[in-house]
Amino acid sequence: MPREIDETVIALYFAKDDGTTVKFEIPAAREDVTDAEVKQQMEEVLEIGADLFGIVSIKGAAITHRTVTPFDVQEA
């Protein structure tokens, strides 16, 4: 029997010093996600990631929520 899925993933996009884009995906609880919190976390990642990953600026973020509910299939 399939399981029920209820998940949220935050994708953070940053520009690197070589012109490429780096993406970090982070699972999050749906009720805990606000735009202000995501922006604050991105600014903190930018500070830390500048030296580690060559990140120079924030490009954007996307929040994806997926819900899958199992159902019974009856044979005819």
Tens of pLDDT, residues 26-73: 888 666 678 888 888 889 889 988 888 899 999 998 888 878 777 666
Record the pTM: 0.70
**Domain span at residue 23?**
5-68
Question: Contact 44/26 with Cβ under 8 angstroms?
Answer: no
d(CA 27, CA 25): 7
User: Is residue 76 situated within a structural domain?
Assistant: no
User: Is residue 43 situated within a structural domain?
Assistant: yes
User: Is residue 75 situated within a structural domain?
Assistant: no
In this structure, the number of other CB atoms found within 10 A of the CB of residue 45 comes to 19
Work out the pLDDT band at 76, boundaries 50, 70, 90.
low
Question: Contact 17/56 with Cβ under 8 angstroms?
Answer: yes
User: Is residue 74 situated within a structural domain?
Assistant: no
User: Is residue 46 situated within a structural domain?
Assistant: yes
User: Is residue 73 situated within a structural domain?
Assistant: no
